[in-house]
């Protein structure tokens, strides 16, 4: 079992690296924030001294934190990281611990892109809800729930909801520094950030809502959408797209399928905390699995 011990040691080291990166980057942000506030306070104090000369020097001194504590903490993390992982090379340690694009500690266009696409999802969801439910019920016509392919959309919606809830869970765990990667024994190299998970979930939601809307509109009586494509093609496309999302990218999906196989063979494998978690989720998805089997 030397290979298993070596793998576990590597995962432990990766977990320590991620924790130190998080502390270092947060300390850097706190230091920058402190410097900004300190600079603003100094300018306000100078203005005060010029305006109220009889109280000149009232705010002189250490009346505002200049971020020394955060700077000391960041320096300590740099030295520890350099000694443990970079053979004492401080430059290499600083380079590896810098903020990365999309890691949640540096603003970039990823958040704006996610917000824009979330807005698109909201508009599509309102359109689908109005057209497929309230609008049709008001005219005493069959809503989307009465159509033949509705179990397909309901089953895919269950899987889509699970993806959204997983992203929300990862965000909360990351936000409050719960080391779920270590608890679930994940490989840190194959773990998506919350932003990446939400981006994937938004793409899947857009495809889901578009397929539902096209299926309903092409099969409705108002004939606003051309019926060049048979209505049944849209649920079929959604099924194929869902299968594709559950398999690819294989490097990220492979551990999930291995865990599912181990859950199904629970009597023959050693249980882990993540297998217990997956099994608990499966017991809450009976209706979803029924719809998937029907599909």
Q: Are 177 and 22 in contact (CB under 8 A)?
A: yes
End-to-end Cα, the chain, rounded Å: 43
- Report the predicted TM-score, pTM, of the whole model to 2 decimal places: 0.78
* pLDDT number for residue 187: 83
Burial of 284 (0-12, 13-18, 19+ CB in 10 A): exposed
pLDDT along the chain (295 residues), means of 10: 78 85 87 85 85 80 72 92 92 83 58 89 90 67 78 95 96 87 85 91 96 84 69 93 95 93 92 93 94 91
Residue pointed to by tokens 């190299």: 189
How far from 145 is each of 186, 223, 257, CA to CA, in Å? Answer: 39, 19, 31
* pLDDT number for residue 166: 96
**Helix orientation angle between 250-264 and 273-283, rounded to the nearest 10 degrees:** 80
How far from 157 is each of 199, 206, 289, CA to CA, in Å? Answer: 17, 12, 11
Omega of the bond leading into 249 within 30 degrees of 0 (cis): yes
């Amino acid at each position: 079992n030397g290979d298993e011990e070596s793998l576990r040691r590597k995962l432990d080291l990766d977990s320590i690296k991620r924790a130190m990166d998080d502390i270092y980057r947060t300390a850097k942000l706190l230091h920058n924030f402190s410097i900004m506030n300190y600079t603003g306070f100094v300018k306000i104090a100078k203005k005060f001294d010029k305006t109220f000369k009889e109280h000149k020097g009232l705010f002189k001194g250490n009346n505002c934190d200049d971020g020394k504590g955060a700077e000391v903490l960041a320096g300590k993390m740099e030295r520890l990281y350099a000694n443990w992982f970079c053979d004492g090379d401080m430059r290499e340690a600083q380079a590896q611990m810098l903020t990365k694009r999309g890691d949640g500690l540096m603003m970039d266009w990823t958040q704006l892109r996610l917000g824009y696409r979330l807005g698109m999802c909201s508009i599509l969801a309102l359109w689908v809800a109005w057209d497929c439910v309230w609008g049709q019920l008001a005219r005493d016509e069959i809503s989307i729930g009465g159509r033949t392919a509705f179990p397909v959309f309901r089953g895919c919606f269950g899987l889509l909801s699970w993806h959204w809830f997983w992203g929300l869970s990862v965000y909360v765990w990351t936000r409050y520094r719960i080391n779920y990667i270590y608890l679930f024994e994940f490989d840190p190299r194959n773990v998506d950030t919350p932003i990446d998970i939400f981006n994937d979930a938004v793409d899947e939601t857009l495809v889901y809502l578009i397929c539902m809307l096209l299926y309903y509109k092409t099969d409705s009586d108002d004939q606003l959408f051309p019926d060049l494509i048979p209505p049944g093609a849209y649920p079929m496309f959604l099924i194929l797209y869902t299968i594709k999302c559950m398999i690819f990218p294989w490097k990220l999906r492979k551990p999930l399928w291995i865990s599912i196989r181990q859950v199904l063979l629970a009597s023959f494998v050693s249980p882990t905390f993540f297998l217990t978690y997956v099994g608990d989720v499966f017991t809450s998805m009976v209706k979803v699995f029924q719809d998937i089997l029907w599909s």
